[in-house]
A and B are shown apart, each in its own frame.
Chain A
Amino acid sequence: MVAIPAQPATPPALASARRLFVRRAAWRWEEIAFWVLAAASYFLFSDHLVLITQAMITGLFVVSLDLMFGYAGIPSFGHAAFFGIGAYTAGILARDGWGDPLTGLVAAALIAGVAGAICSQLVARLHGIAVLMVTLGIGLICYEIANKWNSLTGGDDGLQGMQVQPVLGIFAFDIDGKVGFIYSFIVIFLLYLLARRLVNSPFGLALEGIRENIRRVPAIGIGVRVQLAMAFTISAAMAGVAGALLAETTQFIALEVLGFDRSISVQIALVLGGIGSLIGGMIGAIVYTVARDQLSLINPAYWDFWVGLILCIIVMSGTGGVVGILRRSVGWVVTRVRR
């Protein structure tokens, strides 16, 4: 039960509000562990940098979905549209002469953000399965547009001829993925910090309020449409940056960045990691990507089966994903130890 002060003018109320936010914003151990491990993987898993980079990019994508779904409560089967828009923005710029990676990210964020703002209006009045269907439809329409507009996107063959310049003019992207890894890591970490600030602010609380009870929330002065539009825009922009990172580090993109498969995968990764905890998004993405990779090594033709099985097990055990399990296990251990 969260007490949102109606009139934060009184000092005791203000102080308690501050304490609330400080508590919420405190770094959990799993977050610290994750980021330390991620940074260390540059040395520990130097053979697998490309895989880890792609997993982290997926992580950023999943975190963006968490903002919308975990915090604001809007599910989506079309989130890949924003990822793809960001990827193609950076890709097309790099193909047509503007290869600077950092500005490519900014452009991707802007355009994907605008798309998100537009979509928020389409989805505003719906809830439940209808939202899933409309977002699905939007995602599929984007895919078709990209497919048909092949003079711009290269269509089905993919976008060729991307020339990505070195980062800051100095660090060129290498085949081993070292520069790609460091570049992506820094961008993703910074955006993660931004996401944390957002959810641990009054804005974040407003989103949670919308998720819990969209009808009551206007009664305490929260404008639903405006907050949703902002959440959508930020989420879409973040997804766009993730897409742009993928385009820049692989220097080739094809239509599937916008596809239904990707939209579904990101939802799965989010549930796997744990909804509503931000770090769950990163963890879920890593687990999902690594699992898929390893499973397909064992059995190149039927690994799908095991992925489906693991997904079923995770959903049925209803634990709130990996993060939920971790916290519960640690809590259980701690309670035992205390006795």
Chain B
Amino acid sequence: MADFVNILGAGIAYGVLLFLMAGGLSVTMGLMGFANLAHGSLSMLGGYIVVMLMNWYGWPFFAALAMAALGAAVAGLIVERTVFRRLYWGNELDQVLLTIGVVTMTVAAATFIWGAVPPAVHVPAFLEGRVHLGFFDIGSYRLFLIVFGGLLTLGLVLGIDKTSFGAKIRAAVDNRRMTVSCGINIDRLFMLAFAIGSALAGLGGGLAIYLVGLDPSFPVKYLVYLLVVVVVGGLGSIRGTLAASLALGICDVLGKYYIPYLGAFIIYGVTVAILMVRPNGLFGRGR
């Protein structure tokens, strides 16, 4: 029984990890309808910022994380203002291909700037090791991620549901033209939303690297998972992304534990199955 709970805990932590990285993508892709495959690049940037600040300048972990979020937000804004905004009204494939071009460039740039060797990642001592919770144990860092992820989701959901900014975003998702005709500045709205999405990406990247490592091919490795989680959860829904992340994380880990032979098929198989039954994702509303 303890084994099952251990594995379940690992699955939840994995799901939260996916959500932390994909949460920002849910904002930009889901709320803005902009298929941003370069999201992983922003996470990678966040990761490298954390590594550089901690390893070269001795910054503490949480300060470095904050800087990662800020740095990614700034980078995201720059790219958005110069490149992405031209394609907001364009078709999806153009957006996908443009962002693929951006990803390719960032991977090459990262290899050039930081080299192909994975850097060391450190976290504060209290986050290393394990924690004993009643009848099962869990790695401290994973527990930290779960708690952090929970708070983040709460923040995001409250932000979307309760603030007027959130209301404007929801309006823009449901009916862009109508929102514009209500006098809301869509351009600025999207800019802010993209900044938030990028900050989340940077934060997620900075948090993830301790568990999954960091190297220049980071944006490509997790791209598929991030897309799956956002699309299966349903575009435009933060709750959906969380649900999909948890579902996929748990299914993947449990599946690999009980039926390891199926390993890689699980995620893809589940994705195809869900999308065929609910083409708009679990919580999606259709556009």
Q: Give the B-binding residues of A (Cβ under 8 A).
A: 69, 75, 122, 125-130, 132-134, 136-138, 140-141, 144, 260, 264, 267-268, 271, 301-305, 307-312, 315-316, 318
Contacts and interface: CB of A to CB of B under 8 A. Distances in A.
Interface stretch (B48-56, B86-94, B181-189, B200-208): B86-94
Contact of B92 (A128, A138, A260): A128
Given A301-B111, A311-B100, A312-B83, A130 B279 contact: yes
Given A140-B224, A260-B224, 6 more contacts: A130-B275, A133-B227, A137-B269, A137-B275, A141-B272, A305-B112
B228 interface: yes
List the 8 shortest-distance A-B pairs measured between CB atoms, nearest first.
Answer: A308-B104, A311-B101, A305-B108, A308-B105, A312-B101, A304-B108, A137-B272, A308-B101
B121 interface: no
B84 to A, nearest CB: 10
B227 A136 contact: yes
B147 interface: no
A44 to B, nearest CB: 31
B104 A304 contact: yes
B116 to A, nearest CB: 9
Contacts of B231: 129-130, 133
A312 B84 CA distance: 10
Interface string B103-140: 11101110110000000000000000000000000000
A228 B165 CA distance: 43
Interface of B: 35, 83, 86-87, 90, 92-94, 96-98, 100-105, 107-109, 111-112, 224, 227-228, 231-232, 235, 264-265, 268-269, 271-272, 275-276, 279-281, 287
A267 B97 contact: yes
Q: Which among A133, A268, A304, A309 has the highest number of chain B CB atoms within 10 Å?
A: A133
A141 B98 contact: no
Contacts, number: 110
A273 to B, nearest CB: 13
Contacts of B287: 128
A130 B280 contact: yes
A304 B106 CA distance: 9
B105 A144 contact: no
A315 B97 contact: yes
A141 B273 CA distance: 12
B215 to A, nearest CB: 15
Given A130-B231, A267-B93, A305 B98 contact: no
A132 B272 CA distance: 11
Nearest to B82: A316
A120 B35 CA distance: 24
Contacts of A307: 101, 104
B93 A308 contact: no
Contacts of B108: 302-305, 308
A129 B111 CA distance: 30
B102 A140 contact: no
A133 B228 CA distance: 7
B272 A138 contact: yes
B276 A134 contact: yes
A303 B111 CA distance: 11
B33 to A, nearest CB: 9
A316 B88 CA distance: 12
A339 to B, nearest CB: 32
Contact of A312 (B105, B111, B268, B279): B105
B96 A134 contact: no
Given A132-B96, A136-B224, A126 B104 contact: no
A140 B265 CA distance: 9
Contact of B93 (A75, A141, A310): A75
16 contacts: A69-B93, A126-B275, A132-B92, A133-B275, A134-B276, A137-B269, A140-B224, A141-B269, A144-B268, A305-B105, A305-B109, A308-B100, A309-B101, A315-B94, A318-B90, A318-B94
Nearest to A307: B104
Given A125-B279, A130-B275, A311 B224 contact: no
B144 to A, nearest CB: 31
B35 A129 contact: yes
Contacts of B90: 318
A226 to B, nearest CB: 20
Contacts of B228: 133, 137
A127 B231 CA distance: 12
A136 B275 CA distance: 12
A243 B39 CA distance: 32
A307 B279 CA distance: 33
Nearest to B105: A308
B271 A133 contact: yes
Nearest to A261: B220
A122 B271 CA distance: 13
Q: Which among A129, A144, A268, A303 has the highest number of chain B CB atoms within 10 Å?
A: A129
Nearest to A138: B272
